[in-house]
Chains A and B, each alone.
Chain A
């Protein structure tokens, strides 16, 4: 298990700018401000992250509590999205997809201080990003195959008329 870099392991709360963004978002819903602002306020203040060697745990909410746990190895695609307001605040959303049926993102990481570094961290651990060979013992298999070939050459040198052995026999 590859350890999580300290900068990411120590990340448990979203950046403070996220609340600024939430505030602007609530302002944009002008007539609904009395509803959206408290919702986003509690969402921001209860949002917690936990990056373990296996996966991510994210939780938020007071009355309606949400908690999502997903494994890095199940990540299918990573979307790094931001609008101009978020970029002015130095924010970006990282939307993570797994193979589950929903069409929206399974997890949206918000308020990550360095989104590009987080994307690279997730990419390194997502499905299919490491060595493309399916079998981790592929090089061992290749060496064994070569030793067998040497043995065969030795046997044929002793007895050139020897019948060929059926491989894997």
Chain B
């Protein structure tokens, strides 16, 4: 029943199917979802918000003694409350289900959203910093958010502005492992902003050619010691 309603909603909102992975080396592709506990976490947040709404807004309104609400308004509130609860419950469920994280050897892609679908693609060459955050509840559930930001402007403070320069792996249960994986892949970009590693300078063609020249000279010297210059 719940699934049928969801399928109907997804078709009606024309939500595109699973995202296509960005091009990358075969075998490096990693496709995963938010942790199983992410759904529980969203459910708890939803239950908390609903309880707060009920206790702090709805009940005081309905029980206001000196000036009771008109009967029509009371009925409307009592109808609206379960309706919004049902609606937001489905929103939580679909937020969990419509969330994909893809990592390849050179880029990452995050797809999320129901009404407003957003798909972010970022290459590792542009990544500036990684940040792991978790609130106490997330920590207890073994979840964390991993935020990846690229160079440029900060996240806009305006309400409703979509965060750009930022990719967010929300509610994953492998945040540390993923961070280590991303760091390892970042290391191949020497100018990627997380600091250079001078000892890891790759062999350039010029250095190799000089090495070859030195060896060739030494070989001639070994063959004909008198003509060596």
Contacts and interface: CB of A to CB of B under 8 A. Distances in A.
Interface of A: 76-84, 87-88, 95, 97-105, 116, 119-120, 123-124, 126-129, 132-135, 137-138, 140-145, 147-148, 151-152, 154-155, 158-159, 162, 165, 167-169
5 contacts: A79-B120, A84-B13, A141-B205, A152-B218, A158-B219
Given A134-B190, A144-B205, A144-B212, A103 B121 contact: no
A87 B16 contact: yes
B102 to A, nearest CB: 12
B124 A128 contact: yes
A104 B161 contact: yes
Interface residues of B, number: 55
Which of A144, A159, A167 is the most central at the interface, judged by chain B CB atoms within 10 Å of its CB?
Answer: A144
A81 B96 CA distance: 18
Which of B118, B152, B154, B204 is the most central at the interface, judged by chain A CB atoms within 10 Å of its CB?
Answer: B152
B155 interface: yes
B150 A135 contact: no
B207 interface: yes
Interface string B112-127: 0001111111111110
Contacts of A129: 22-23, 106-107, 123, 125
Nearest to A102: B153
Contacts of B14: 84, 87-88
A169 to B, nearest CB: 5
B125 A78 contact: no
A80 B110 CA distance: 10
A77 B167 contact: yes
A69 B32 CA distance: 36
Nearest to B117: A82
Contact of B123 (A82, A128, A142, A169): A128
A152 B208 CA distance: 13
A123 B22 contact: yes
Contact of A145 (B152, B162, B203): B203
Contacts of A87: 13-16, 117
The A contact surface, by secondary structure, is mixed
Nearest to A90: B14
Given A97-B150, A142-B208, 14 more contacts: A77-B150, A81-B118, A83-B117, A102-B153, A103-B154, A103-B161, A103-B164, A128-B123, A134-B188, A137-B204, A138-B205, A152-B215, A165-B214, A167-B214
B8 interface: no
A89 B44 CA distance: 36
Contacts of B122: 76-78
A147 to B, nearest CB: 5
Contacts of B115: 83-84
Nearest to B154: A103
Interface string B205-229: 1011111101110110011000000
B105 A132 contact: yes
B211 A167 contact: yes
A155 B218 contact: yes
Nearest to A145: B208
Contacts of A132: 105-106, 124-125, 188-189
B151 interface: yes
B20 interface: yes
A162 B222 contact: yes
B165 interface: yes
A83 B203 CA distance: 49
Which of B106, B188, B212 is the most central at the interface, judged by chain A CB atoms within 10 Å of its CB?
Answer: B212
